[in-house]
Amino acid sequence: MKRILISQNETNNSEDYVVVDGEIIRDKDLALQYYRKLKETDNWKQDFQDDFLELKSNDKDVLIKSHYLDKDNLNRNIYYMYYVEKNDDLNEILNYLEIDSQKIDRNVDKEKTLVIINKIKGNNKIKSIFYKLILILAAASLAYSLFKSIKQ
Protein backbone atom coordinates (compact mmCIF):
# COMPACT_ATOMS: atom_id res chain seq x y z
CA MET A 1 0.00 0.00 0.00
CA LYS A 2 1.67 3.20 -1.22
CA ARG A 3 0.92 6.43 0.69
CA ILE A 4 1.80 9.85 -0.72
CA LEU A 5 1.28 13.10 1.18
CA ILE A 6 1.97 16.43 -0.52
CA SER A 7 1.58 19.62 1.48
CA GLN A 8 2.60 23.22 1.05
CA ASN A 9 5.31 24.40 3.41
CA GLU A 10 4.97 27.19 5.95
CA THR A 11 5.96 29.94 3.50
CA ASN A 12 4.10 28.56 0.47
CA ASN A 13 7.14 29.18 -1.72
CA SER A 14 6.50 26.30 -4.17
CA GLU A 15 8.75 23.92 -2.25
CA ASP A 16 6.12 21.57 -0.91
CA TYR A 17 6.66 18.72 1.50
CA VAL A 18 6.44 15.25 -0.02
CA VAL A 19 6.06 12.32 2.37
CA VAL A 20 5.97 8.80 0.93
CA ASP A 21 5.18 5.84 3.17
CA GLY A 22 6.12 7.89 6.22
CA GLU A 23 9.45 9.18 4.85
CA ILE A 24 10.11 12.78 3.81
CA ILE A 25 11.38 12.95 0.22
CA ARG A 26 14.11 15.53 -0.23
CA ASP A 27 15.20 14.60 -3.77
CA LYS A 28 13.37 17.05 -6.09
CA ASP A 29 13.37 14.67 -9.08
CA LEU A 30 11.82 11.90 -7.01
CA ALA A 31 9.29 14.34 -5.55
CA LEU A 32 8.34 15.35 -9.10
CA GLN A 33 7.52 11.70 -9.88
CA TYR A 34 5.09 11.66 -6.97
CA TYR A 35 3.48 14.91 -8.16
CA ARG A 36 2.91 13.22 -11.51
CA LYS A 37 1.40 10.20 -9.78
CA LEU A 38 -1.11 12.45 -8.03
CA LYS A 39 -1.85 14.30 -11.28
CA GLU A 40 -3.25 10.99 -12.60
CA THR A 41 -6.09 11.35 -10.09
CA ASP A 42 -7.59 14.30 -11.98
CA ASN A 43 -9.92 11.96 -13.90
CA TRP A 44 -11.00 9.85 -10.94
CA LYS A 45 -14.56 9.63 -9.69
CA GLN A 46 -15.37 12.36 -7.19
CA ASP A 47 -17.10 10.78 -4.20
CA PHE A 48 -17.48 13.90 -2.08
CA GLN A 49 -16.64 17.60 -2.11
CA ASP A 50 -17.37 20.53 0.14
CA ASP A 51 -15.42 23.59 1.24
CA PHE A 52 -13.28 21.50 3.63
CA LEU A 53 -12.63 18.15 1.98
CA GLU A 54 -12.59 16.51 -1.43
CA LEU A 55 -12.56 12.73 -1.78
CA LYS A 56 -11.84 10.89 -5.02
CA SER A 57 -11.48 7.19 -5.69
CA ASN A 58 -10.51 4.72 -8.38
CA ASP A 59 -11.11 1.07 -7.49
CA LYS A 60 -9.42 0.78 -4.07
CA ASP A 61 -7.17 3.84 -4.49
CA VAL A 62 -8.22 7.00 -2.64
CA LEU A 63 -7.24 10.68 -2.81
CA ILE A 64 -8.12 13.19 -0.10
CA LYS A 65 -7.63 16.92 -0.59
CA SER A 66 -8.10 19.21 2.37
CA HIS A 67 -6.24 21.54 4.70
CA TYR A 68 -4.68 21.26 8.11
CA LEU A 69 -5.52 23.07 11.30
CA ASP A 70 -2.08 24.69 10.93
CA LYS A 71 -1.63 28.04 9.16
CA ASP A 72 1.18 29.32 6.95
CA ASN A 73 3.25 32.45 7.60
CA LEU A 74 0.41 34.62 6.23
CA ASN A 75 -2.18 32.90 8.44
CA ARG A 76 -3.73 30.93 5.55
CA ASN A 77 -4.81 27.30 5.74
CA ILE A 78 -2.08 24.83 4.78
CA TYR A 79 -3.35 22.62 1.96
CA TYR A 80 -2.57 18.92 1.47
CA MET A 81 -3.28 16.04 -0.89
CA TYR A 82 -3.14 12.49 0.44
CA TYR A 83 -3.07 9.49 -1.88
CA VAL A 84 -3.44 5.92 -0.64
CA GLU A 85 -3.10 2.97 -2.97
CA LYS A 86 -4.98 -0.31 -2.53
CA ASN A 87 -6.95 0.68 0.54
CA ASP A 88 -10.48 2.07 0.71
CA ASP A 89 -10.91 1.81 4.51
CA LEU A 90 -11.40 5.50 5.31
CA ASN A 91 -10.75 5.10 9.05
CA GLU A 92 -7.43 3.39 8.38
CA ILE A 93 -6.53 6.02 5.79
CA LEU A 94 -7.26 8.78 8.31
CA ASN A 95 -4.98 7.10 10.86
CA TYR A 96 -2.16 6.92 8.30
CA LEU A 97 -2.81 10.55 7.36
CA GLU A 98 -2.26 11.57 10.96
CA ILE A 99 0.96 9.55 11.21
CA ASP A 100 2.35 10.87 7.91
CA SER A 101 1.33 14.46 8.77
CA GLN A 102 3.27 14.27 12.04
CA LYS A 103 6.45 13.85 9.96
CA ILE A 104 6.02 17.47 8.83
CA ASP A 105 4.52 18.73 12.11
CA ARG A 106 0.98 19.13 10.79
CA ASN A 107 -2.33 18.57 12.56
CA VAL A 108 -5.36 17.06 10.86
CA ASP A 109 -8.82 18.17 11.91
CA LYS A 110 -9.70 14.58 12.78
CA GLU A 111 -13.12 15.32 14.28
CA LYS A 112 -14.40 17.24 11.27
CA THR A 113 -12.89 14.69 8.87
CA LEU A 114 -14.51 11.79 10.76
CA VAL A 115 -17.92 13.50 10.59
CA ILE A 116 -17.55 13.80 6.81
CA ILE A 117 -16.27 10.21 6.45
CA ASN A 118 -19.23 8.89 8.45
CA LYS A 119 -21.57 10.97 6.28
CA ILE A 120 -20.00 9.45 3.16
CA LYS A 121 -20.28 5.92 4.57
CA GLY A 122 -23.93 6.54 5.49
CA ASN A 123 -24.61 7.85 2.00
CA ASN A 124 -23.00 4.74 0.47
CA LYS A 125 -25.22 2.52 2.65
CA ILE A 126 -28.29 4.41 1.47
CA LYS A 127 -27.18 4.03 -2.16
CA SER A 128 -26.62 0.30 -1.66
CA ILE A 129 -30.09 -0.15 -0.15
CA PHE A 130 -31.62 1.92 -2.97
CA TYR A 131 -29.91 -0.17 -5.67
CA LYS A 132 -31.01 -3.43 -3.98
CA LEU A 133 -34.58 -2.12 -3.80
CA ILE A 134 -34.52 -1.26 -7.51
CA LEU A 135 -33.18 -4.74 -8.29
CA ILE A 136 -35.92 -6.38 -6.21
CA LEU A 137 -38.61 -4.26 -7.88
CA ALA A 138 -37.24 -5.11 -11.33
CA ALA A 139 -37.17 -8.82 -10.47
CA ALA A 140 -40.72 -8.66 -9.09
CA SER A 141 -41.91 -6.83 -12.21
CA LEU A 142 -40.27 -9.44 -14.44
CA ALA A 143 -41.78 -12.28 -12.41
CA TYR A 144 -45.22 -10.64 -12.60
CA SER A 145 -44.88 -10.22 -16.38
CA LEU A 146 -43.84 -13.85 -16.80
CA PHE A 147 -46.67 -15.06 -14.58
CA LYS A 148 -49.17 -12.93 -16.50
CA SER A 149 -47.93 -14.23 -19.89
CA ILE A 150 -48.05 -17.87 -18.71
CA LYS A 151 -51.60 -17.38 -17.36
CA GLN A 152 -52.85 -16.21 -20.76
Domain boundaries, the chain: 3-108
What is the tens place of the pLDDT at every residue in 77-129?
999 999 999 987 888 888 999 999 999 999 998 888 877 777 776 655 545 55
pTM of the model: 0.76
CA of 44: how far to CAs of 58, 63, 94, in Å? 6, 9, 20
What pLDDT score does 137 carry?
67
Q: Is 27 helix (H, G, I), strand (E, B) or coil?
A: coil
What pLDDT score does 79 carry?
94
CA dihedral 57, 58, 60, 64 (to 10 degrees): -30
What is the tens place of the pLDDT at every residue in 3-39?
999 999 988 787 899 999 999 999 999 999 999 999 9
What pLDDT score does 30 carry?
95
